[in-house]
Structure 1
Amino acid sequence: MTEAMQLVLAQCNTHVGDFEGNLALCKSIVERAQSEFSRPVIVFPELTLTGYPPEDLLLRPSIEPRVQVALSQLCDVVTTAYVIVGYPRRIDGVLYNAAGVIHQGALIGEYHKWCLPNYQVFDEKRYFEPGTEPCVVAIHGVQVGLSICEDIWAPEPALAAKTAGAELILNLNASPFHRCKQNERLSIVAERVAETGIPVVYVNQVGGQDELVFDGGSFVMNSQGQVIKQLPRFDDACEMVTYPFGPADVSEQAVTDQLAGFALTDLQEVWQALVVGVRDYVNKNGFPGVVLGLSGGVDSALTLAVAEAALGADRVQAVMMPFKYTSQMSLEDAAEQANRMGVNYSVIPIEPIYNAFMSALEEEFEGRKPDTTEENLQARARGVVLMSISNKTGKLVLTTGNKSEIAVGYSTLYGDMAGGFDVLKDVPKTLVFALCWYRNSLGPCIPERVITRPPSAELAPDQKDEDSLPPYEVLDQIIDLYVEQDCSAQNIIDKGFAEADVHRAVRLIDLNEYKRRQAPIGVRLTRRGFGRDRRYPITSKWKPGV
């Protein structure tokens, strides 16, 4: 006879390599659940004990004993509960991505992940061998099948679990965010439910790990394909749902109301991803705070707003570094935003630094006309100032380049690219503007004319970005087609874009790979962010733009 079970969805934020911290987190959740519920079944995310993704830490010989110690100590606190937790497991020299079932102090079942993703940011085939057998465990009279993340994206693992007798599938995930990802998850799980007639509990991790952001959004889908429970996005959560569940357990209106409470617009999703990405990168790496150059322009304005939301005003320092080409408007707007946000603010003119550099280079530059070298030197002077503040205070330098600029190389090596984390690395310029308006909808923050005036690096008199680039409304579409959709130059031209704009843009994208290799990491928002997603050679005879 089926006994009611209390499924606890443990949507948690782990720290890669922190076995002690991850174990302590698991133990606290288990102990609380065992004290609050009579028959809890606690489901943790994928590779909880190591954190995800552990990357080449999986190749270290010492990882195996550390996993064993953590697993043994977790078993010690599991009494009345059933705990399903993820970890790497080596058997006969073969490493698996595993999910174990713990009850009454013992490991009573173990599943090895079948489908190993090896695309976009994933390279699990580098480390793991695929499992070949389903795992179905009897829990409170219910036959429970296990699966891990990518397994739910293919029909075979769920069908195999059904054949083995599964009545319920628990799916452990470390599924990183990209725009519209939650809708994809819901759609895929609905397909598995329709194929098998088996309800699915989908538990995802949350938090930032280097450039990846995990957005949670764990959910329960019944055998009719209805989502009867969803946890918050971008935040830790630990909630219980009783099984068996069905349409009668919760009204259609209650389901609609709950999902509406967690539904996010595209701008809300992106904003939260940026905030979580910055917060966890800074905090998990132990930085006391951040410092950034505030120019009076839109990119640094948005970067400052994200940093303040992530860390609080007292941990953020903004530095205005004017030069003779800096407008009065920029000076006023930077000061106004810093004042509105209550961050630490200072003004350090760079003209004396620039002049000292130019004096030292006078003989080297003799007989040569001024060009972009002098413009880049301004940016590099600012980079020296920010990195010196970082060196002295321990604060992390946030760079402010957006995806559009990074794509075409509209940035200066060892200048505005100097720093440890680029908040806007995967944010195209048109989205920067939209996010600024969104942030202002939450309360006064960015001066309106920062958003409405024509973008300029202010490295030369009356300089405008569009003097040397196509309008951002055009450029961003070309970048999307070429970088994220892998369209050829001719494909893009055939879609109605001007041939000159297309060839210039894709040529610059191809030629500036060497810069991007030296750029700091930043929050990933798309399927093809620069970095882990897109790996192109620097040295190549590939014809630019083809």
Structure 2
Amino acid sequence: MESMNFIRAAAACPVTRVADVHANVANIKVCIDKAVHEHAKLVVFPELCVTSYTCADLFLQKQLLDEAELGVRELCAYSAGKDILIAVGAPLYAQTVVYNCAYILFDGKLLGIVPKSYIPNYEEFYERRWFTSGKGIINHTVDMSFQKDVPFGIDLLFQSGALQIGFEICEDLWSVVPPSSYLSLAGAQIIGNLSASNEVVSKSGYREALVASQSAKCMASYIYSGAGTGESTTDVVFGGELLIAENGTMLNKNKRFQRDNEIKTSIVDIDRLNLQRIKNISFREATSTMPWTARKINYSFEHMDYGVFDREIDKHPFVPADAKQREQRCSEIFSIQAAALAKRMEHTGLKNAVIGISGGLDSTLALLVIVKTFDLLGYDRKNIITVTLPGFGTTDRTYQNAVSLCKKLETDFREVNIVAACLQHFKDIGHDPAIHDVTYENVQARERTQILMDIANKEGGLVVGTGDLSELALGWSTYNGDHMSMYAVNCSVPKTLVRYLVRYVAEEETREEIAAILFDVLDTPVTPELLPKNGEGKIAQKTEDIVGPYELHDFFLYYFVRSGFTPAKILFLAKIAFKDSYDEATIQKWLQTFIRRFFSMQFKRSAIPDGPKVGTVSLSPRGDWRMPSDASRNLWTTEH
């Protein structure tokens, strides 16, 4: 199986008994076997899990320290042939002091030992009574009874190919500058945290937020393994929390207070992390703050098989799956659009807005943004000049929706039929109107834009564009036609999200007649209506029949621009996300269409009007996307 630079990582919580190394090692082995069975390549165990965390003054007993080393030796031998990197917690007696450490094991060998940097000594924690900080330990080695010259320090990275993994321990994450920040700057895409964080009311929520936040700051995956219920003793209770986060997103977590050996796994996307770091200049510049140079400990996985691909791939990455989050997203975007347009209206001193209304989704959303903006500024809605521009392909359904919506919203509604002007233009340029080619279509689009611009000049208004992000990506606009406006409020809203924004307004609308129109607009197929109506007066031209499903193109756009993935990886993900909707041949066909149009239509994006950025993907040449208009697409074609 091709790995596509995915790796499965595991967080484990074995059943522990306080100071019972033999029992603890046995349960750690059970969890290792579970992780191997689930095709994990990394498994992170809790802090001091070999001895248990709550041994207190027993950590000063030679018997326990000696037994802990024997336990690590046994686990090291057990790791042979399992093709998995294992991080277990145990004390280390070295140089007359005791350290709280992560032991990193692979294929029968102890690769390195990472000491805890920050030793808590407040409230219920008394670790300084037993342990010494390893914060300053770099470029060191230690001798174990079973292996000499073992790398020891906070400067260790464990590398297999391009994959690098670093480790920190519990309180390290809570510090102002966690060691994981430096480990990430040194190259670690995955951070393991061996922890023994006890449970008090509301601490779990804070801990989860901390893990997610650190994974976002480090642009890394963060594997957190907390000590389980068997650690509970005297006045403290442990819940065994397991968390796997990636770049701010929680991929998997468990239900706390389990009483059996438990692991949680998730597939981590290394490409996603690497490419995010490439883009982020601040991340690159922060490498100059590194206080040490990482020592890279090399090892090699035999296989990168991650088993069943169970990572969730959202087919609509621009749209939150959770209804509450989706509502919040729509509310925020709508407010950003209105705030941006309000600024442009105030700056220009214009009191009028001009917009062409087709009865379709995009122009409906743009009109709703204008209405919100005018209400925000206290402008009269009669200063919103809405113009319907029926042509050869305008259908009764879209026409009636356009007329009704404009009138119900109490705008200055006007109608300019473009048929006669287009016929005259055909005559002027010598085009046969019976030939329904690109000239036939673009003449109509440019005629509409010309009318809107002229009305704006006449009335002292601002032409508000309606085109969306998906259309920009595909170049699905007429150059100097609907491609142009004086301000484009939808320019960074993808088509899949436009629907939810219009639905959001419809559901919030208190006037039933307006809501009904909006819902009917949502049910109307996306169409430019540039070809003559069919014999029944219905839509003869559906955009998605021509360029392909917008949900596919938005998926391609997200992973091409936001993640920088190769077409092969985008195809791989799309097959998973849309397995119940499209076959591989269909997905591949439209992916090729996306690549072809995205590259060939950059010249249009190089000359688009201003418009607000509302999300993480934008194609503005002044902001997020700077691409040569004449770049070759050969390297990105699926045949390459």
Normalising to structure 2: TM-score of the pair? 0.44
> In structure 1, how many angstroms separate the alpha carbons of the residues matched to 2:530 and 2:217?
54
- DSSP-derived class of the 2:607 partner: coil
- Partner SS state of residue 547, structure 2: coil
1:347–1:510 Cα change, 3 Å: same
Alpha-carbon distance, 1:155 to partner: 7.9
Deviations 1:58-104 (A, max 9, x none): xxxxxxxxxxxxxxxxxxxxxxxxxxxxxxxxxxxxxxxxxxxxxxx
1:383 corresponds in structure 2 to 449
Please tell me the residue identity of whatever aligns with 2:452.
L
Given candidates 354, 372, 376, the residue that maps to 2:422 is 354
Give the AA of the match of 1:311.
Answer: F
The Cα shift of 1:406 comes to 1.1
The yes-or-no answer on 1:527 pairing with 2:616 is: yes
Matched, 1:402 2:468: yes
CA distances 1:287-313 after superposition (whole Å, capped 9, x unpaired): 222101001111101100010101132
TM-superposed deviation, 1:539: 2.3
Question: Residues of 2 paired with 1:465 and 1:315: CA distance?
Answer: 32
* 2:571 equivalent in structure 1: 493
Question: Conserved in 2, the CA contact under 8 Å of 1:323 and 1:349?
Answer: yes
Q: Which residue of 2 aligns with 1:310?
A: 373
Pairing of 1:14-93 with structure 2 (within 5 A) = none
In the TM superposition, residue 328 of structure 1 has moved relative to its aligned partner by 1.0
Supply the distance in 2 between the matched residues of 1:544 and 1:504 (Cα, whole angstroms).
15
> C-alpha displacement at 1:379, in angstroms?
0.4
Distance 2:498 2:606 in 1: 23
Q: Cα–Cα, structure 1 residues 503 and 314, in superposed 2: closer, same or farther, change >3 Å?
A: same
Return closer, same or farther for 1:330/1:486 CA change in 2, 3 Å cut-off: same
What's the CA shift for 1:385? Answer: 0.2
Structure 2: how far apart are the matches of 1:535 and 1:459? 31
Using the TM superposition, give the Cα deviation of residue 327 of structure 1 relative to its aligned residue in structure 2, in angstroms: 0.6
Pair 544,424 (structure 1): closer, same or farther in 2 beyond 3 Å? farther
Q: Tell me if 1:477 matches 2:477.
A: no
Contact 1:510 1:544 in 2 (8 A): no
Residue 329 (structure 2) aligned to one of 217, 241, 266: 266
User: Deviation of residue 409 (structure 1)?
Assistant: 0.8
Q: How far off is 1:476 after superposition?
A: 1.2
Alpha-carbon contact 1:289-1:311 (below 8 Å) kept: no
Cα distance change of structure 1 residues 541 and 509 upon mapping to structure 2, 3 Å threshold = closer
1:102-141 equivalences in 2 (<5 Å): none
Q: What SS is found at the alignment partner of 1:509?
A: helix
Equivalent pair of 2:436/2:531 in contact (CA under 8 Å): no
Shift of 1:542: 4.5
- Seen in structure 2, the aligned counterparts of structure 1 residues 494 and 369 have a Cα distance that, compared at 3 Å, is same
Cα distance in 2 for partners of 1:521, 1:275 equals 14
Larger CA Rg, structure 1 vs 2: 2
Q: How far 1:356 moved relative to its partner?
A: 1.4
Report the secondary structure of 1:527's partner residue.
coil
Secondary structure at the aligned position of 1:397 is classed as strand
Q: Secondary structure at the match of 1:468?
A: helix
One of 603, 611, 627 as aligned partner of 1:536 = 627
Deviation (angstroms), 1:455:
0.9
Change (3 A) 1:366 1:466: closer
Query: What is the match of residue 438 of structure 1?
Result: 504
Match of 1:284 among 347, 353, 359: 347
Secondary structure in 2 matching 1:463: coil
Write the distance in 2 (CA, Å) between the matches of 1:408 and 1:342: 34
Q: C-alpha distance in 2, partners of 1:544/1:388?
A: 44
Offset, 1:326? 0.5
Distance 1:475 1:339, change over 3 A: same
Q: Give the structure 1 partner of residue 488 of structure 2.
A: 422
Contact kept, 8 Å, 2:474 with 2:598, in 1: the verdict is yes
- Contact 1:513/1:537 (CA < 8 Å) preserved in 2? yes
Indicate yes or no: 2:531 matched with 1:460.
yes
Residues 327-380 of structure 1: CA deviation (Å, up to 9, x unaligned): 111121111111121111100101111011111011xx4799541111011000
Q: Which residue of 2 aligns with 1:73?
A: none
The answer (yes or no) to whether the contact 1:375–1:459 under 8 Å persists in 2 is yes
CA positional deviation for 1:420: 1.0
Q: TM-score, normalised by structure 1?
A: 0.51
Structure 1 CA distance for aligned equivalents of residues 344 and 359 of structure 2: 25
Please report how far the alpha carbon of residue 191 of structure 1 lies from its aligned counterpart in structure 2 after TM superposition: 8.1
Give the structure 1 partner of residue 477 of structure 2.
411
State the SS of the aligned residue for 2:636.
Answer: coil
The residue type paired with residue 556 of structure 2 is: I
* Whole-Å separation in 1 of the counterparts to 2:522 and 2:216: 41
**SS of residue in 2 equivalent to 1:265:** helix
C-alpha separation in 2, matches of 1:353 and 1:367: 12
Q: Does the 8 A contact of 1:507 with 1:544 survive in 2?
A: no
The 8 Å contact of residues 325 and 460 in structure 1, kept in 2 or not, is answered as yes
Give yes or no for contact 1:510–1:545 (8 Å, CA) kept in 2: no
Partners of 2:213 and 2:556 lie apart in 1 by 29
Q: Does 1:517 align with 2:611?
A: no
Structure 1 pair 472–541 and aligned structure 2 pair: CA distance change class (3 A): closer
Unaligned runs of 5+ in 1: 1-150, 157-182, 193-261
Contact 1:507 1:545 in 2 (8 A): no
Q: 2:440 aligns with which of 359, 368, 374?
A: 374
Q: Quick check: 2:394–2:529 contact (8 Å CA) kept in 1?
A: yes
The answer to whether the Cα contact below 8 Å between 1:430 and 1:473 also exists between their aligned partners in 2 is: yes
Which AA in structure 2 matches 1:409? G
Structure-2 separation of matches of 1:530 and 1:191: 25
Deviation at 1:324, TM superposition (A): 2.5
Q: Is the 8 A contact 2:595 2:633 kept in 1?
A: no
Specify the alignment match of 1:17 in structure 2: none
Distance 2:326 2:362 in 1: 27
The one-letter code of the counterpart of 1:280 is: K
CA contact (8 A) 1:430 1:476 kept: yes
Cα distance, 1:315–1:541 mapped onto 2, change above 3 Å: same
Separation of aligned partners in 2, 1:278 and 1:340: 22
Could you tell me which residue of structure 2 aligns to residue 299 of structure 1? 362
- CA drift at 1:440: 1.1
Matched letter for residue 613 of structure 2? R
Q: Please give the secondary structure, in 2, of the residue aligned with 1:280.
A: helix
Quick check: 1:303–1:400 contact (8 Å CA) kept in 2?
A: yes
Write the deviation string for residues 26-66 of structure 1: whole angstroms up to 9, x where unpaired: xxxxxxxxxxxxxxxxxxxxxxxxxxxxxxxxxxxxxxxxx
Give structure 2 stretches of 5+ with no counterpart: 1-176, 183-208, 219-324, 376-380, 533-539, 576-583
Q: Secondary structure at the match of 2:615?
A: coil
Contact 2:426-2:433 within 8 A present in 1 as well: no
The aligned residue for residue 62 of structure 2 is none
8 Å Cα contact 2:599-2:632 kept in structure 1? no
Please give the alpha-carbon distance, in whole angstroms, between the structure 2 residues aligned to 1:345 and 1:370. 30
Q: Relative to 1, partners in 2 of residues 1:310 and 1:331: Cα closer, same or farther, differing over 3 Å?
A: same
Alpha-carbon separation, structure 2, partners of 1:304 and 1:544 = 40
8 Å CA contact 2:602, 2:628 repeated in 1: yes
> Shift of the alpha carbon at 1:423?
0.9
1:543/1:263 CA distance change after superposition, 3 Å: closer
* Aligned mates of 2:558, 2:446 — CA distance in 1: 29
Compute the RMSD of aligned alpha carbons: 3.2
Q: What is the CA–CA distance in structure 2 between the aligned matches of 1:314 and 1:530, rounded to whole Å?
A: 33
Specify the SS of the correspondent of 2:394: coil
Identity of aligned residues (%): 26
Q: Distance in 2 between matches of 1:390 and 1:327?
A: 26
